[in-house]
Structure 1
Amino acid sequence: MDDFGLLNWTILIVYLLGNLLMGSLLSKKVDSAEDYYLGSKTIPWWAIGLSVMATYVSAMSFLGGPAWSYGNGLGVMMIQVNYPLVVFLVITLFLPFFYNSGVASIYEYQERRFGRKARGVMSVIFMMSQTLSSAAVLYATALVLSFITGVDVVTAILVITLIALVYTLMGGISAVIWTDVLQAVILLVGAAIIFYALLDRMPESLVTTLGELKAQGKMNILDFTFDTHVEATVWSGVIAMVLYHVTVYGANQMVVQRALAARNIGDAKKSFLFMGFTAFFIYFLFLLMGVLFYSYYGGREFENSNTIVLQFAADYGLPGLLGVVASAVVAASMSSLDSALNSLATVTTLDFYEKYFKKGASSAHYLKASRWFTVVWAVLIIVPAILFAQTEGSVLQLLTKVGSYFVGAKLSMYALGFFSRHTTERGLLIGVAAGFMAVWYAATQTDVAWPWFCAIGAVVNMPVAIVASLLLDGRQEKLSAYTIQGQKTMFREQSLPTKDGGWYLIPGKVDRVSWLLVGFFLATLLFLYLFSVLI
């Protein structure tokens, strides 16, 4: 970018200063480690919902979404169509376990259900996967700054990390959530402006353009082939990616920690319902923009496809537009990075430092330790971010591929905890090892598409874990209270209330409003079918 300009710089700098100011104001409410992890449990559900959305529907979508569909067509929408089903499962199975327990680290569930080793393994898996995915987010942000200012990508990585680190250190989870709200608004405004500008500049009408794209094979959304070598099909989206995203949203400290900061179980569930009903529209917008860009630029190749949106903003020439778009991408990326830093510090402090190195210290001590661990993780994330800078493909596709190696193990560990009576810790860990080996083999020795890696890991992991448990430890006579059936038994025997404000506290019980998610999912499939047929 030759000249970013004073107006664009002003917009971007004002936004960055606003984040730091918000972090400073919220830092006055952080007096203990609990405040740093969970806030004061007074954050409204809609703010948590916007925070969840901003974290995962972020710069990965704003940059990587158009880049992905630019190259592969609108069919990649099937990878993202499953969120209503995902949220249905998460708020029915996962959230009640975590919220009722009053924990700050969701991996404490693994210790209560299986043992300390299971908790440690799950925590390490989270740290590894989150570090890599956060590095991809950081790279996306640095790419923006490098593109618009000419600053070296490595320098941009360091600058963005420092800014996100500072306000996260000051305000903890409250700063993360409230800055995410600001970032979500900026993201959506930026996306709306770009979409309008794109339609304004298209040489032909939208209907005509879509018809031409259909003739070029860019609008084939619903692919019903059972070929597991194809990345985006109906079956990979509805089966494989449901399993993948259930783990991403249900067994991920970075996401669930927000819900644990809600006032009650109802607010926690409503924050996820927000994502379930809005994700489709946001992903569809970003991916539709990609195929429209393909038409606008005549399918020309870009040196780095993740810069398409930024290039269009520069070409459009509206004063301040590039500043708004740059702020939107930086904002969205930082919403993911700050969340990762806070959750990684939380898990490190609770699952390792407090448990094995410094038991019984004061809350003030753990707050100080959490802030130091936040700094450590910021440094550790920088290294893979620099390595990711060597890639030229879609950063959204890259991020999703990175996560696919780990989710099978996480899904299996929670599924067995919820539903299996006889799985023990020793059998569970053997199953995890077998699942990782299966995913490694599929990734390196076969042409199976990455969306199926989670399913492959789970299909191998679970039966191996059950058989190994039976062989090593035999059948378990006592039903764990941390299975779904055990929870139902406990609520019944202790005459505990099953609802709070009309929302189920018992895992496995479906709230009435949750059925609307299933209906909404079917409606989105019908919409995609009609959209692809009628254009």
Structure 2
Amino acid sequence: MEIASKLYEIDWIILSITLLFIVVYGTYVTRKNSNVTDYIKGGNDTKWWTIGLSVMATQASAITFLSTPGQAFHSGMGFVQFYFGLPIAMVIICVVFIPIYHKLKVYTAYEFLEGRFDAKTRTLTAILFLIQRGLAAGITIFAPAIILSAVLGWDLLTLNIIIGVLVIIYTVSGGTKAVNVTQKQQMIVIFLGMLVAFFMIFSQLPEEITFTKVIEIAGASGKMEVLDFSFDLNNRYTVWTGFIGGTFLMLSYFGTDQSQVQRYLSGKSVRESQLGLIFNGLLKVPMQFFILLVGVMVFVFYQFNSAPLNFNPKVKDEVLKSKYAVTYQQLESEHKAIEDAKKMLLKDGFQIEEKEQIQKLNTQDLAIKESARKIIDKIDETSIEKIESNDKDYVFIHFILNNLPKGLIGLLLAVILSAAMSSTASELNALASTTAMDLYKRNITDNKSEEHFVKASKWFTLGWGILAILVACVANLFDNLIQLVNIIGSIFYGNVLGIFLLAFFIKFIKGNAVFIAALITQIIIILVWYLDWLPYLWLNLLGCALVMTIATLIQLASSKPSKILNE
């Protein structure tokens, strides 16, 4: 039976009504924006809870709700360490960044840099933002589209266009306020959907399996290892990468990325903006922990129920048409035998003495899955269409479509698409604002009216929306989609953060030194990433340290010591 046929009429109704309501509501309530302050800064009347939810929705894209449960299914809870630096970053931004931005009444974060340094530094930093965020906007559309197209049989190109067009409609119409008000509705849908998914998974486990037993079963398989205090640079997620690399990434993302800065620049006051970020800092880590826990619950569910050897539905069809069909079927038989053995061990509930046997079976199953991946990769090398062997992004959607009752499938699909829309809307809004204010308005000599810049911002929103759809249409899957977005950010964020820290704290550094240092740093960071010398989270710290060090050395070399001391 086609997986798409498992969508019932009620699922289509719930999905369609949810998405249409968000678009119509966002367009209607923000239809009267007539000036730049209303369009770009949301009228400066946003309450703290709206800011907090909007900031959270901007970061929590569809990738979060597709990839994160799959990450926990395969690798356990350790990914939550990635977010450990977020509360620290929120406090620093509230104390340092927000008061300065509000005092200067800037429309974008990069506007501040011209007053502190010069126009070329502002322009360079804005361009770095536009490059990385423009790519990310395409990925936030592409991520849910490619996965839904694979599991539902929907046309990928059509899905990319539908998601992009829905977002463009209300973002062009209402600007920042439209993004803020729709993200409140989207976060309600997301929270409700994930809570329902959690309880539905638990309800489908055997009666004798309590929540304590769930944790024990997951722990026996190494899924509950939350904290890693090692200093191994080959390990992407440790307490240290979270607190150090994560803090620098979050500082740069929330403090200098216009898609986030624009959320709290719309605040009614400094205090409202600060409360919104503190709200996000307090809730974000528990939310990510909960989403990972949902992935662990899915893992435990499949200890009692059959799971495919690979969750990507395209894989089996392609493999069975290849010369490796017999070998793959043998691996499937071995995988099924291990599943049956685990079910026998767990049939009367998990007993702690069975832990070693389960670990042994899981090790054998991992070896079988690795052999299957090698076969898939061999086929992928000769196939015209890309076949993704890494199935992390398909685990949760597979569970939703095959195990949830009708109605709830539509709700969870609405969660995924709402998250895609909310994140993409913030990105398009920020891309348009940066283009309009930092490039277009900054370099226009004629006096133009407020209405002109509102129209220009709308055209830029449309242009970036079309570009995001085009990026989505030519994108390819990576190791894991949530990692891909963070890798793209890490390549640019450290450099940008270093520029802002120089602006805030190192007063004798001038524009020329920063500009040259930023160019050199960006080249070095791209080389370090390309040669895979460091885990990507450490690129944030390296980029920040490099640009600050190089700028300081250039300034010292070009200035007289006495002049520096006087300053």
TM range (shorter): 0.7 to 0.9
Segment drifting more, 20-29 vs 402-411:
20-29
Aligned to 1:450: 536
Change (3 A) 1:431 1:13: same
Determine the C-alpha separation between the residues in 1 that align with 2:38 and 2:254.
Answer: 23
| 2:489 is equivalent to residue 429 of structure 1 | no
> Could you tell me the percent identity over the aligned residues?
28
One of 195, 198, 217 as aligned partner of 2:198: 195
Q: Note the C-alpha offset of 1:428.
A: 0.8
Paired residue secondary structure (1:173): helix
| 2:97 is equivalent to residue 114 of structure 1 | no
One of 168, 171, 176 as aligned partner of 2:174: 171
Determine the C-alpha separation between the residues in 2 that align with 1:460 and 1:371.
Answer: 37
Deviations 1:301-329 (A, max 9, x none): 32242232222222223120111001111
Determine the C-alpha separation between the residues in 2 that align with 1:408 and 1:277.
Answer: 24
Aligned to 2:354: none
Contact 2:151 2:398 in 1 (8 A): no
Deviations 1:375-433 (A, max 9, x none): 11011112332333x21643212211111100111111011111112211111122212
Determine the C-alpha separation between the residues in 2 that align with 1:153 and 1:216.
Answer: 36
Q: Note the C-alpha offset of 1:147.
A: 4.8
Aligned to 2:547: 461
Paired residue secondary structure (1:450): coil
Aligned to 2:58: 55
Q: Match of 2:291, as an amino acid?
A: F
| 2:242 is equivalent to residue 237 of structure 1 | yes
Contact 1:57 1:282 in 2 (8 A): no
Segment drifting more, 68-77 vs 177-186:
68-77
| 2:310 is equivalent to residue 301 of structure 1 | yes
TM-score, normalised to structure 1, is 0.86
Aligned to 1:441: 527
Determine the C-alpha separation between the residues in 2 that align with 1:474 and 1:291.
Answer: 60
Q: Note the C-alpha offset of 1:148.
A: 6.0
Contact 1:404 1:451 in 2 (8 A): yes
Query: Tell me, which stretches of 5 or more residues in structure 2 are unaligned?
Result: 313-390
| 2:435 is equivalent to residue 348 of structure 1 | yes
Matches within 5 A, 1:252-291: 252-291=257-296
Q: Note the C-alpha offset of 1:479.
A: 10
One of 363, 369, 372 as aligned partner of 2:456: 369
Change (3 A) 1:476 1:432: farther
Aligned to 1:336: 423
One of 69, 72, 81 as aligned partner of 2:72: 69
Aligned to 2:188: 185
Determine the C-alpha separation between the residues in 2 that align with 1:107 and 1:250.
Answer: 11
Query: Tell me, which stretches of 5 or more residues in structure 1 are unaligned?
Result: 481-485, 487-535
Q: Note the C-alpha offset of 1:5.
A: 2.0
Change (3 A) 1:104 1:475: farther
Change (3 A) 1:452 1:39: same
Aligned to 2:228: 223
Determine the C-alpha separation between the residues in 1 that align with 2:51 and 2:532.
Answer: 40
Change (3 A) 1:70 1:387: farther
Matches within 5 A, 1:404-423: 404-423=490-509
Segment drifting more, 301-310 vs 144-153:
144-153
Contact 2:138 2:471 in 1 (8 A): yes
Paired residue secondary structure (1:43): coil
Determine the C-alpha separation between the residues in 2 that align with 1:445 and 1:24.
Answer: 46
Contact 1:424 1:473 in 2 (8 A): no
Contact 1:422 1:475 in 2 (8 A): no
One of 399, 415, 418 as aligned partner of 1:312: 399
Aligned to 1:322: 409
Change (3 A) 1:60 1:25: same
| 2:134 is equivalent to residue 131 of structure 1 | yes
Change (3 A) 1:195 1:475: farther
Q: Match of 2:427, as an amino acid?
A: A
Q: Note the C-alpha offset of 1:68.
A: 1.7
Paired residue secondary structure (2:34): coil
Deviations 1:414-453 (A, max 9, x none): 1111111221111112221232233223212244211111
Paired residue secondary structure (2:235): coil
Q: Match of 1:114, as an amino acid?
A: F
Change (3 A) 1:466 1:476: farther
Paired residue secondary structure (2:237): coil
Determine the C-alpha separation between the residues in 1 that align with 2:479 and 2:211.
Answer: 27
Q: Match of 1:262, as an amino acid?
A: G
Bigger radius of gyration among the two? 2
TM-score, normalised to structure 2, is 0.81
Aligned pair count reads: 480
Q: Note the C-alpha offset of 1:33.
A: 2.3
Aligned to 2:102: 99
Paired residue secondary structure (1:290): helix
Change (3 A) 1:114 1:369: same
Segment drifting more, 147-156 vs 57-66:
147-156
Matches within 5 A, 1:140-179: 140-143=143-146, 145-147=148-150, 149-179=152-182
Segment drifting more, 315-324 vs 368-377:
315-324
Contact 1:141 1:334 in 2 (8 A): no
Deviations 1:474-511 (A, max 9, x none): 4595999xxxxx9xxxxxxxxxxxxxxxxxxxxxxxxx
Contact 1:84 1:277 in 2 (8 A): yes
Matches within 5 A, 1:449-528: 449-474=535-560
Deviations 1:124-152 (A, max 9, x none): 01101111121221112323642564222
Q: Note the C-alpha offset of 1:20.
A: 2.3
Q: Match of 2:413, as an amino acid?
A: A
Aligned to 1:2: 4
Determine the C-alpha separation between the residues in 2 that align with 1:292 and 1:439.
Answer: 38
Paired residue secondary structure (2:123): helix
Q: Note the C-alpha offset of 1:349.
A: 0.8
Contact 1:141 1:160 in 2 (8 A): no
Give the root-mean-square deviation of aligned CA atoms.
2.0
